[in-house]
Homo-oligomer: A and B are copies of this chain.
Amino acid sequence: MNFSSDNAFGASPEIIEAIARANADALGSYGADPLAAKVEERLKEIFETDLRAFLVSTGTAANAITLASLSPPWGTVFCHEVAHIAEDECGAPEFYGGGLKLHLLPGEQARIDPVALSAALLEAGARGVHQAQPAALSLTNLTEMGALYTAAQLSELCGIAHAKGMAVHLDGTRFANALVAGNESAAAISWQAGVDVLCLGATKNGALAAEVVIFFEPERQAARIAEFEFRRKRGGHLVSKGRLLSSQMDAYLTDDLWLRNARHANAMGQKVAAALAAHPEIDVLNEPQANMIFARIPLPVHRRLREAGAAYYLEPASQTEDGDGEAVMVRLVCAPTTPESDIDNFLAICAGEN
């Protein structure tokens, strides 16, 4: 019963098989393998548009190298105050970006509030060289609170950013979860809404370590793409045996593995959410639209779960296993490989049945 993170588990069997299958021959190194080209073609189909795609092994690398290619060192990247790039990457965007700034914005369910964004941009950069200049907006879908942006919500935010001359980055670590949780196409919730660069994650949704950075409208973004490629190399992220990454991404996008994985994780998440919401003593703290649930769990229930070996993170507000003395705040994440039996077991313990 491990709900600590979608990266606590291994990969889908298809991913492992693909790595093994790609191992056979001598292939071009450093991204020049045929599978990388195949991945790019497949992404064009999925997103129904022209694009350029670059593989890296971690989400932090994908985000940070991308942002450095969208913002000068004296630029400001606007993001949500609990965004992964702000909270969990130890300053990777600032490092790759030569000292750029993150400007933190509020918003319910970790969605950026458009009013707050507009207000922040009102004076941003107005004093010329005395101030950092607005350079990029960074969104995350699924959000860090497990919520979904609709295409309309994305469009509104992207529109505000573009009107200020800013680029838009979408951290899509859980893009598949967002995609299958909504009713809109991959194109609709990315470039059609105004996203310039999408960091599409696979690691948390069934791969071992593979992310793909997608530049839409590649001709318009040719200068950024060239920067990205140099920055990727200088960051040590141009893997020599590129097949390790391309084989994973190829399998991920084949036969809808990515969507199947996300659907399972979301279904498990929704099952947990519904059961916890129905529990008389447990409060669900977010609007769980996919595979992430934040909840306040009474200490007796929490202790029963821990005794049974359940793994999950306590939120910072609950610093110790004793929480506030009555309950703890927890984050539960379901993965593509989370067995339904674990869910049933977990919920039975919550209900006091085990």
Chain A interface residues toward B at CB < 8 A: 2, 4-5, 7-11, 16, 19-20, 22-30, 56-62, 64-65, 72-74, 87-92, 94-102, 122-123, 126-133, 203-204, 208-209, 227, 229-241, 243-244, 311, 316, 319
Residues of B within 8 A of A241 (CB): 7, 10-11, 203, 208-209
Q: Which of B5, B123, B128, B236 contacts A316 (CB 8 A)?
A: B123
Could you tell me if B74 and A91 are in contact, using CB atoms closer than 8 angstroms? yes
Could you tell me if B239 and A236 are in contact, using CB atoms closer than 8 angstroms? no
30 contacting pairs across A/B (C-beta < 8 A) = A5-B29, A8-B28, A10-B24, A16-B19, A19-B19, A57-B57, A57-B239, A60-B236, A61-B235, A65-B236, A73-B230, A74-B233, A88-B130, A89-B236, A90-B130, A90-B230, A92-B233, A94-B100, A95-B98, A95-B234, A96-B99, A99-B100, A99-B234, A122-B319, A129-B233, A203-B240, A208-B244, A209-B239, A209-B244, A235-B235
Could you tell me if B8 and A236 are in contact, using CB atoms closer than 8 angstroms? no
Q: Which of B9, B72, B101, B130 contacts A233 (CB 8 A)?
A: B130
Could you tell me if B7 and A29 are in contact, using CB atoms closer than 8 angstroms? yes
Chain B min CB distance to A206 (Å): 11
Could you tell me if B208 and A23 are in contact, using CB atoms closer than 8 angstroms? yes
Q: Which of B59, B95, B127 contacts A99 (CB 8 A)?
A: B95
Q: Which of B101, B230, B239 contacts A129 (CB 8 A)?
A: B230
Could you tell me if B235 and A92 are in contact, using CB atoms closer than 8 angstroms? yes
Chain B min CB distance to A210 (Å): 10
Residues of B within 8 A of A229 (CB): 128-129
- Pairs of residues from A and B, 3 with the lowest C-beta to C-beta distance, nearest first: A61-B236, A10-B23, A94-B99
